[in-house]
A and B are shown apart, each in its own frame.
Chain A
Amino acid sequence: MKLAYWMYAGPAHIGTLRIASSFKNVHAIMHAPIGDDYFNVMRSMLSRERDFTPVTTSVVDRNVLARGSQEKVVDNIVRKDAEEHPDLIVLTPTCTSSILQEDLHNFVERAQLEAKGDVMLADVNHYRYNELQAADRTLDQIVQYYIEKARRRGELAEGKTAKPSVNIIGTTTLGFHNNHDCTELKRLMADLGIEVNTLIPEGASVNDLKKMSQAWFNLVPYRELGLTTARYLEEQFGTPYIDITPMGVVETARCIRKIQQVINAQGAEVEYEDFINEQTLHVSQAAWFSRSIDCQNLTGKKAVVFGDNTHAAAITKILAREMGIHVVWAGTYCKYDADWFREQVSEYCDEVLISEDHGEIGDAIARVEPSAIFGTQMERHVGKRLDIPCGVIAAPIHVQNFPIGYKPFMGYEGTNQITDLIYNSFTLGMEDHLLEIFGGHDTKEVITRGISADSDLNWTKDGQAELNKIPGFVRGKVKRNTEKFARDRGFKEINAEVLYAAKEAVGA
């Protein structure tokens, strides 16, 4: 047992559900008790989905505990198949089903006999994997399933596409700025003259998976999601994959050079140096920013970075290599992939911190007193408490991290966005600091807009106590309204009863 207030990565089933609901026309059925379908709320609220989240529950209740699920799971799968005609139903185990140890495999096989669509069991153990690992595994599982199915039926697409093409693997629903990154990557590929063969899982149909073999290469932009799939495709079809995240000017260039190398090896004969040059010097403002006076002022400023592997590593490199900022420590909560992170950032920061404990992270921030933090929502709140500005660069995130405006982190437009994010965090901190030195630009005392100073009204102890329970931002208004009410009725004294009578009368 461990005492925990906060977790960075969610439970395994969330990962599976993110993959399933990213695909078009795939339905997930959770084997779970009532209330575990909170994923639907998150998807509907955070990413403001207009469509119903294709996730339902086969409810585990007392009867299931006593007698097993019996026909229930099978019936639910068959029913959903008839109602929504999904291409695929993914039966999703949860922590509850992990310990019940029912033979979910058997249910899937039985349901498959009746269902028109495909049915599969997500192979993820709650106690072994977290959300990110589970998502990676589930994506791989679905791809393998459809490649093998196509192979059995002889429907597997033969050979490569005529022009260089790519599968972009790993953008999902509820991923940090994934939809914007996705648009930016498509744009980048178009600029490079590369066709997007498939883009999975977000918005893809499982029926497209059989043509994945036709791509010249696979691009895995996020470290956490898609590598297993890319390795499988390499092993099956010899398709090379590129796992350089195009985030930041240098890394984007590195990714493009790698693409050039990979497709030229297959006979493409492309030359991207001019493109990289043009984009770096004139389209992205990040390189120019590094030269500008603004950035000069940031030289040697202390920052700390914490997040998932992809974002924390990329931001660390941008801060240190592209802006000359002193990254005191960089950290990740992807403990299971800590070696990779260490290798990526070691030369760009003084210290590497691997932890899933937000308390430890908070303490480490307090210890080094950086000028800015780049982290998750949790670090943002630590920053608030310590009065240090924070730019949010990774999940866990809130609804404000699902902006409607175009805000990619990847590609050349991404470099512009990241520059703004970093610069705004630091200047805000500077401004604050200067204000403090010069005593602020506003008096702190607010002059009350009360009715009159020589109030003839007397607040009793209970009246005052009730008034104090009212949230600060409306208390003044309530006080004024109540006093007005009391004056109108000729009350000399205001107690709790008068306060609430006033509320009823005014309707405030």
Chain B
Amino acid sequence: MTVTQQPEALNFECETGNYHTFCPISCVAWLYQKIEDSFFLVIGTKTCGYFLQNAMGVMIFAEPRYAMAELEEGDISAKLNDYEELKRLCLQIKRDRNPSVIVWIGTCTTEIIKTDLEGLAPKLESEIGIPIVVARANGLDYAFTQGEDTVLAAMANRCPDKAPVAETEKSERNAIAKLLNFGKKKEDVAQDESEYVDHPPLVLFGSLPDPVVTQLTLELKKQGIKVSGWLPAKRFTELPVLEEGYYVAGVNPFLSRTATTLMRRRKCKLIGAPFPIGPDGTRAWIEKICSVFGITPKGLDEREAQIWAGLEDYVKLIRGKSVFFMGDNLLEISQARFLIRCGMTVHEIGIPYMDKRYQAAELALLEKTCQEMNSPLPRIVEKPDNYNQLQRIYELKPDLVITGMAHANPLEARGINTKWSVEFTFAQIHGFTNARDILELVTRPLRRNNNLKDLGWDKLVREEAKI
């Protein structure tokens, strides 16, 4: 036997890329809610529209601030003029909704017919007087959450590069908003300034629900670290200032393009840290930021221990159990690392795309966690092949499979527990406070089973003889 039981380093593989995930245009669903004065225009076909309509479910009926610019045959064959068509629709949007920014989402079709969205946008922007941000969030290049990455990377170029002193052109548009903001800011500053350590400005990037933004901001405040801004902010008009030399840190593992843009285009310094998912991740995230600013973190030991103590009833349910990530949203590495810390064994981490540089600190923490928990190092499968994965699942019989909805019901019918992966994207999972919410999701199928265990109904498909 030449095969060693425990490989020494993480094992990276790459399969065929035939896996199920959401189209990256789905990012409009959470981004239009996050950026309150935005309007998202997805320039694509009926296929894109059908996906959005069905994937967003009830949100569609709430008069969302997004729409399809549905391409017709005349657009494809260039019988119609792209610029004129987009102008007509954008004026309609301006009239009906008057947003502070229109985000154009480029799709597979605009890529293939080579619509020059980046070229058209500045021209149209100056003509209609509303900023137009272009993000090419298409299924040819990206998966699911990477859509947010393309939007934030584009937004990063719109962040003001100087603290607002006298920017004549912009201040005209938002005179009133600024006046209101000014009053608010002054109040905050007055009461807060003394509580912070003196450190270079820090801007965090990644779209999170407002309560989570508050929680993470407060968490850093306890260490005397001031968060100067978030990309994205609640409103497009409140995008943070990014000067050369500012520090930036990501809160989500799928933001590699945004990180690259911040470093290369905006000359910011990236703090490469594990992501604040799970108490272990949150602690490591804070520690890394502190270390960059030369701050000795206070009270993190107790804080982490206290959170773990509060999780024990859930951890008890999963300790010693195994989990298989089929991979579809790029949160997989951080989640796996947290679940290993909870005492689970991870068979496989499927992931659509693995940026080993952006996720370096997270990967290192994963490796360290495995060693400390004496758990075998999982295989990391980039661009997985769902068919092959199903064969491995049948063989390994994991206690839990984290997967998309296409596979969840069929696996359940075969007696395999599943948790729908998309829920992790929409639930609040960051920081100390929300660690319990992750486990609430992870343990749900196991708790359901405890309730139903004596019924003998685990396998609900008819076995047919294989030919």
Contacts and interface: CB of A to CB of B under 8 A. Distances in A.
Of all A-B residue pairs in the complex, the 5 with the closest CB atoms, nearest first, are A35-B23, A33-B139, A40-B406, A50-B413, A381-B61
Interface in A22-46: 32-38, 40-42, 44-45
A466 B61 contact: no
Interface of B: 17-25, 43, 45-47, 49-51, 53-55, 57, 60-61, 64, 67-73, 75-76, 80, 85-86, 88-89, 92-93, 108-109, 111-113, 138-144, 210-211, 214-215, 218, 306-307, 310, 352, 387, 390, 404-410, 413, 432-433, 436, 460-461, 467
Nearest to B435: A504
A6 B53 contact: yes
A500 interface: yes
Interface residues of A, number: 64
24 contacts: A1-B69, A1-B80, A2-B70, A5-B60, A6-B53, A7-B46, A14-B50, A32-B47, A33-B139, A34-B352, A35-B25, A35-B143, A38-B22, A38-B50, A50-B413, A51-B461, A59-B17, A62-B140, A65-B140, A83-B387, A99-B76, A396-B53, A500-B218, A504-B306
Nearest to B432: A504
Contact of A61 (B17, B45, B75, B413): B17
Contacts of A2: 69-70, 72, 89
A99 B45 CA distance: 11
Given A33-B140, A51-B413, A507-B436, 4 more contacts: A13-B47, A35-B143, A38-B50, A504-B432
A45 B113 CA distance: 34
Given A126-B47, A466-B211, A500-B215, A44 B23 contact: no
Given A1-B71, A83-B387, A95-B109, A37 B413 contact: no
Contacts of B138: 33
B53 A507 contact: no
A442 B109 CA distance: 55
A453 B25 CA distance: 49
A7 B49 contact: yes
Contact of A3 (B69, B143, B310, B461): B69
B292 to A, nearest CB: 24
Given A11-B45, A38-B23, A496-B214, A61 B72 contact: no
Contacts of A1: 43, 69-72, 75, 80, 85-86, 88-89
A13 B45 CA distance: 12
Contacts of B405: 41, 44-45
A505 B211 CA distance: 17
A398 interface: yes
Contact of B310 (A38, A51, A130, A505): A505
A385 to B, nearest CB: 8
A53 interface: yes
A11 B310 contact: no
A44 B410 contact: yes
A473 interface: no
Contacts of B460: 50
A3 B141 contact: no
A50 B410 contact: yes
A367 interface: no
B409 A44 contact: yes
Contact of A48 (B57, B61, B409): B409
Given A3-B89, A381-B61, A34 B409 contact: no
A497 B20 CA distance: 40
Nearest to A5: B67
B23 A3 contact: no
Nearest to B211: A469
A71 B198 CA distance: 60
A34 B329 CA distance: 13
B410 A51 contact: yes
**Majority SS of interface residues in chain B?**
helix
B20 A40 contact: yes
A33 B407 contact: no
B54 A60 contact: no
Most buried by A among B25, B71, B108: B108
Given A4-B67, A65-B112, A35 B53 contact: no
A7 to B, nearest CB: 6
Interface of A: 1-7, 10-11, 13-14, 32-38, 40-42, 44-45, 48-53, 56-57, 59-62, 65, 76, 83, 85, 94-96, 99-100, 126-128, 130, 378, 381, 384, 396, 398, 462, 466, 469-470, 496-497, 500, 503-505, 507
Contacts of A53: 406, 410
Contacts of B88: 1
A49 B409 contact: yes
A37 B88 CA distance: 32
Most buried by A among B46, B57, B211: B46
Nearest to A9: B46
Nearest to A57: B18
A269 to B, nearest CB: 41
A183 to B, nearest CB: 19
A70 to B, nearest CB: 15
A139 B170 CA distance: 58
A356 B436 CA distance: 45
B209 to A, nearest CB: 8
A500 B217 CA distance: 12
Contacts of B433: 500, 503-504
Contact of A35 (B21, B57, B60): B21
A45 B409 contact: yes
A60 B461 CA distance: 33
A3 B25 CA distance: 16
Given A1-B85, A41-B404, A62-B141, A95 B46 contact: yes
A6 B19 CA distance: 27
A59 B18 CA distance: 7
A38 B410 contact: no
A37 B406 contact: yes
A3 B88 CA distance: 10
B108 A33 contact: yes
A127 B73 contact: yes
B282 to A, nearest CB: 12
Contacts of B69: 1-3
A503 B440 CA distance: 14
B50 A50 contact: no
B409 to A, nearest CB: 5
Contacts of A384: 61
Nearest to A44: B409
A52 B412 CA distance: 11
A4 B70 contact: yes
Contacts of A56: 18, 387
B80 to A, nearest CB: 7
Contacts of B57: 398
Given A49-B409, A56-B18, A466-B211, A127 B51 contact: no
A5 B64 contact: yes
Contact of A504 (B111, B310, B404): B310
A50 B461 contact: yes
A32 B92 CA distance: 31
Contacts of A496: 214, 218
A100 B109 CA distance: 10
A4 B45 CA distance: 10
A49 B211 contact: no
B350 to A, nearest CB: 14
A11 B18 contact: no
Contact of B55 (A38, A83, A94, A398): A38
Contacts of B461: 50-51
A34 B17 contact: yes
Most buried by B among A62, A497, A504: A504
B89 A41 contact: no
B188 to A, nearest CB: 9
Nearest to B222: A497
Given A3-B89, A61-B141, A96 B108 contact: yes
A53 B461 CA distance: 14
B46 A35 contact: no
A34 B86 CA distance: 26
